[in-house]
Every structure is written in structure tokens, then in C-alpha cells.
């Protein structure tokens, strides 16, 4: 696993230097993973195929922004794919007025960059999700892994949309306390 990770990091760094053979290898190593992401979120094969190509175009264009040592290289690639799919879905959903409220954030968000993702961290988010009511934990997972909107989550859980919002925001804050506690 660590070896794979180091290898993918090297490939991304070579892609940043415009190495096409590295790009080809990176594609061969990671396209199944990223197709899994685009397919799961977009839930339509043709769209997922189109999105996968766009994702790899973005990876080629943005490889120089990857910072090794922080998140795992696979997580970085998954984030590019996931965010691309979410952009596609978001563009189809209705939008509200821009919010005016300035964000307030606790003074010290612990910086995760100096830790690498390992088994402990995976166990930790599962443990913290486990402390939430199971339907709320499912909603958080559904948002991250399936890209569900509040509306979709509300329909799936059969609650009004505002209830879902409230649930999820509270759950996220509890999750944060647990993860950073």
C-alpha cells in the first residue's frame, strides 16, 4: 500500500513535468478507481465515461498542484474526480441567493497535513460515524460517497428537507468534535 502510494506520487510528479508516458501509466494505475468514483456519483454510464476523460484532463493540467506528504496521492486523485462530478450535479440543481453571512470558524483548526492517512484514521472516522444515529451517519456517507443533495437525502430518509439540513449540520459538528477531540 505504501509502495503503491509512493509510486503514484512519483507518477503525478512526472505528469506535472509533462511526461506523457507517466500520464499513461497513471491512467492505467488509477482509472478503475476514478471510474468507480464517477460512476457511483453520476449513476449513468455514459456520463461517467465522459466525466472520467474530463477528470484525467484536469489531472494533466493540475498535477503541479499536488503536494506530496499531505493527503495520499489516491485521495488527491479521488478528490479531483469527486469534485468534478459534484460540479456537474450542482450545475443542474436550483440555486438560492448568495449568502451574506461571513463564516466563523473556531480559532484553531488542527492542521492534518503532517499526518498521513493510515488504518487508525480510517478506523477513527468509522468510530465517530458510529457515534451518530445510524440514519444520520448514512446521510453523511451518502453525501460523500454518492454525492446526494439535501433534497435527495431528505427523500431517501423520508424527512422534510429542512429537517435533513438540521440533522446533518448537527451531525457534522458532532463528527468534528469527535474527530478532533
Partner 1 sequence: MSDETDITTQPDGERALVAEYVLGLLDSGQHEAVRAQIEADPRLQREERLWQWHFSALDDQFGDVPAPERLQRLTEERLFGRAEARGGLAGLWHNLALWRGLAAGALAVAVLAVGLATMMPQPSSTQLATELVAALQAEGSDVQFVALYDSESGNVRLVGLSGVAGPQQDFELWAIQGENPPISMGVIEAMTRNEVRVGPDVAPEWGPGSVLAITLEPEGGSPTGDPTGPVVAQGAATPI
The footprint of partner 1 on residues 61-100 (CB under 8 A) is 70-72, 74-75, 78-79, 82-83, 86, 89-91, 93-100
- Under the binding rule (CB under 8 A), the answer on residue 165 touching partner 1 is yes
Burial bucket for residue 11 (CB in 10 Å: 0-12, 13-18, 19+): buried
What is the smallest separation between the CB atom of 10 and partner 1, expressed in angstroms? 17
Residue span 112-141 as binding mask against partner 1, x where in contact by CB under 8 A, dash where not: xx-x-x---xx-xxx-------------xx
- Under the binding rule (CB under 8 A), the answer on residue 58 touching partner 1 is no
- d(CA 3, CA 49) in angstroms, rounded, equals 29
Name the residue among 117, 111, 31 with its Cα closest to residue 72.
Answer: 117
Residue span 4-43 as binding mask against partner 1, x where in contact by CB under 8 A, dash where not: ----------------xx-xx--xx--xxxxxxx-xx---
- d(CA 147, CA 153) in angstroms, rounded, equals 10
Q: Which three cell numbers, joined as nine digits, stand for 100?
A: 451574506
What is the smallest separation between the CB atom of 38 and partner 1, expressed in angstroms? 9
- C-alpha angle 156/157/159, rounded to 5°? 115
What is the smallest separation between the CB atom of 126 and partner 1, expressed in angstroms? 8
Amino acid at each position: 500500500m505504501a509502495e503503491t502510494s509512493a509510486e503514484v506520487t512519483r507518477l503525478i510528479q512526472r505528469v506535472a513535468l509533462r511526461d506523457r508516458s507517466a500520464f499513461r501509466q497513471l491512467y492505467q494505475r488509477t482509472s478503475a478507481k476514478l471510474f468507480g468514483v464517477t460512476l457511483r456519483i453520476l449513476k449513468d454510464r455514459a456520463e461517467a465515461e465522459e466525466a472520467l476523460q474530463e477528470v484525467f484532463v484536469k489531472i494533466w493540467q493540475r498535477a503541479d498542484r499536488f503536494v506530496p506528504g499531505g493527503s495520499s496521492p489516491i485521495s488527491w486523485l479521488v478528490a479531483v474526480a469527486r469534485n468534478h462530478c459534484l460540479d456537474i450535479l450542482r450545475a443542474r440543481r436550483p440555486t438560492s441567493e448568495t449568502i451574506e453571512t461571513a463564516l466563523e470558524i473556531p480559532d484553531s483548526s488542527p492542521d492534518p497535513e503532517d499526518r498521513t492517512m493510515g488504518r487508525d484514521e480510517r478506523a477513527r472516522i468509522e468510530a465517530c460515524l458510529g457515534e451518530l444515529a445510524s440514519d444520520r451517519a448514512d446521510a453523511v456517507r451518502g453525501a460523500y460517497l454518492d454525492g446526494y443533495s439535501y433534497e435527495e437525502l431528505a427523500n431517501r430518509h423520508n424527512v422534510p428537507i429542512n429537517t435533513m439540513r438540521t440533522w446533518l449540520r448537527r451531525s457534522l459538528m458532532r463528527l468534528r468534535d469527535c474527530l478532533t477531540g
